[in-house]
Structure 1
Amino acid sequence: MTDPTPSEAKAASTSLGDLLGEVSRDISTLMRQEVALAKAELKESATKSAKGAGLMGAAGYGAVMAVFFLSFALWSTLATIMGGGWAGVVVALIWAVIALILFFVGRNQFKDVNGVPQTVETLKEIPETVKRNEENR
């Protein structure tokens, strides 16, 4: 027969209560370390996300300004053909059509959102699992 490993020797010479206490401490330490790791990862992700969001906001502002000045140029060009008032109406109607198309596309995108179905399903299973484990005791 082979010699027992250090873990087997410790298990043979230590009480069950002490072993359970040690396992409990180890699990607690592991959970604290996992939470600390998650916090560090989330902080790094949040920092990168904030920088990206700021840059995207600046890009959005630039795009709004470009659209504004292009719309003004279109209005000005059309004003030489049909008069300033009607040219403004034409440019406004073009933007109304674009806004309507974007609205319908966005609404359809929202219809495709499912939330977190896998998480909800998993959370529903927890009470049943606990109940089954209590019945088996």
Structure 2
Amino acid sequence: MLRKDLFGWLGIAVGSIALLMAMLHFYAGPFSPQPTLESIVASKAVAIKESVLASLAGNSVAASVSQPRYDLDRILEIMTAVLAAAAVILGVIGSACRVNRRIVSGALMLGTGTLAFQFAVFAFGVIAVIFLIAVVLWLIMGG
């Protein structure tokens, strides 16, 4: 291993760790206690119904701000994204230092693949929750 290949190899190592963390969290997680899906959907549906009825009656709708929670799952997600971004950055630095293209490609693919995987899992969860809320609202409104 040449000294100039260091950034590329570090990018591969960091990207591999990020991908392993993402897969571990996806398949073995969540590690912190989570509210049930029914309680989340029911509370969102009730909040939407109450705000719609309040706005139709001409009353003002109070905006609620929730505090961010940092539990083990959230910290794992953040650390995985940081490591994946670090792999991409190390791959770019390696490319600027004229590291072997295969090494740079590996670092870039591991980093971007991990970021894409996390985004896809999050997007699927959001779409599923929106669908469930829509179904519950449809049933509540007398569908």
TM-score with structure 2 setting the length: 0.31
Larger Rg: 1
TM-score with structure 1 setting the length: 0.32
| Structure (1 or 2) with the greater helix fraction | 1
Larger relative contact order (Cα-Cα within 8 Å, sequence gap ≥ 6): 2
